[in-house]
């Protein structure tokens, strides 16, 4: 849970930033004992704005943040966790012994054969936090947005090209992403057809002409911190993505004819994996 991006919430000349406002909001809620059930979500939202190894981007935000974290710990984590936490799902039951796993751990369950309730019980002192996630290998047939909306366009890099894709063609891939919230360390992962090679890997300045027009439409000033051009994927890593739209382009050369089934295009916050977006890709056909 984070504050929406607004120019009035990010005025560095007045020492105002989204991170500072988030931790101050946390202090207000703790002192007023308001939004009690949402305070953990506000804390997670504030921690998600940390950068560079666990610090907020300004001295003022870090000063308020130290006070907010201490007050949060005094209010909700005053007792050390000890004992056993038991989780049950249908006929399955597992427990976590805090004397052996003082930093917590994971309890995994197989899918039950029928709808069932998950029961969590803690036997001991303290109040441990529990984070629930559900994973299933289900083929994606429609775009999915859990924080990011992805739009993809594939066009020839040569404006005179027409017709089917052929071996040797240069392909320009344009990705537009609409982020629903500010987030640190976001990765864009887009698959490429088998046998294709990525142009612009930096070998002796190769293909500078083919890549000269990339990213010319990006007006959001959101640029990747690192780009990984692999044999199977194009990946762009952003240390910070603000709420709103950003775009990126890359170029590949088709080297292998055939019809290629591609996995989904995916955008995900590395440290908040529930913040994600996926886009299914149609089969890509290359003629000889």
247-259: per-residue pLDDT in tens?
A: 999 999 999 999 9
CA dihedral 230, 232, 234, 239 (to 10 degrees): -70
pTM above 0.85? no
Residue 276 in this model has a pLDDT that exceeds 90: yes
Q: Structure tokens of 60?
A: 């003022």
* Residues paired with residue 92 on neighbouring β-strands, in sequence order: 89
Residue-wise over 135-161: b if at least 16 C-beta within 10 A, else e?
Answer: eeeeeeeeebeebbbbeeeeeebeeee
> Tokens 């020492």 map to which residue?
15
Place of tokens 């293909």: 207
The tens digit of pLDDT for each residue in 33-62 reads 888 889 998 998 899 888 877 899 889 999
Query: How many other CB atoms sit within 10 Å of the CB of residue 252?
Result: 22
pLDDT confidence of 206, banded at 50, 70, 90? low
Tokens of 136: 């299933």
Is residue 286 within 8 A of residue 170, CB to CB? The reply is no
Q: How far is CA 197 from CA 161, 200, 249, 256, in A?
A: 19, 10, 15, 10
pLDDT digits 0-9 by tens, 56-86: 988 999 999 999 999 999 998 888 999 999 9
Question: Tokens 């762009």 map to which residue?
Answer: 236
Bridge partners for 151 per DSSP: 176
Tokens of 34: 């308001």
Torsion of CA 174, 218, 215, 167, to 10 degrees: 10
Sheet with 148-156, strands from edge to edge, namely 148-156, 170-179, 244-253, 197-199
pLDDT confidence bin for 286, thresholds 50/70/90 = very high
List the beta bridge partners of residue 207.
Answer: none
Backbone angles phi, psi at 102, to 5 degrees: -70, -20
In the block, residue with structure tokens 């990213």: 215
User: What does the alpha-carbon distance between residue 72 and residue 23 come to, in Å, rounded to a whole number?
Assistant: 10
């Amino acid at each position: 849970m984070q504050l929406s991006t607004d120019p009035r919430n990010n005025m560095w000349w007045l020492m105002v930033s989204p991170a500072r406002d988030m931790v101050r909001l946390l202090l207000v809620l703790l002192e007023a004992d308001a939004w009690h059930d949402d305070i953990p979500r506000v804390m997670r939202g504030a921690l998600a704005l940390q950068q560079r190894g666990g610090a907020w981007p300004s001295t003022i935000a870090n000063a308020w943040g130290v006070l907010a974290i201490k007050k949060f710990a005094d209010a909700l984590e005053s007792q050390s966790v000890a004992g056993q936490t038991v989780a049950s799902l249908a006929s399955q039951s597992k427990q976590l012994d805090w004397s052996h796993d003082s930093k917590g751990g994971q309890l995994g369950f197989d899918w039950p054969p029928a709808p069932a309730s998950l029961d969590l019980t803690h036997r001991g002192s303290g109040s441990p936090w529990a984070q629930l996630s559900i994973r299933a290998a289900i083929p994606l047939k429609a775009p999915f947005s859990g924080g990011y909306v992805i739009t993809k366009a594939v066009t020839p890099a040569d404006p005179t090209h027409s017709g089917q894709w052929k071996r040797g063609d240069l392909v320009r891939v344009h990705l537009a992403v609409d982020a629903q919230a500010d987030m640190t360390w976001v990765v864009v992962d887009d698959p490429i057809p088998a046998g294709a090679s990525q142009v612009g890997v930096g070998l002796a300045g190769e293909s500078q002409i083919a890549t000269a027009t990339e990213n010319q439409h990006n007006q959001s000033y959101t640029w990747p911190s690192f780009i990984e051009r692999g044999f199977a994927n194009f990946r762009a890593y952003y240390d910070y993505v603000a709420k709103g739209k950003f775009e990126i382009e890359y170029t590949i050369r088709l080297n292998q004819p055939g019809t290629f089934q591609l996995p989904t295009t995916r955008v995900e916050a590395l440290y908040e994996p529930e913040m994600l977006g996926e886009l299914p890709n149609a089969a890509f056909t290359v003629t000889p």
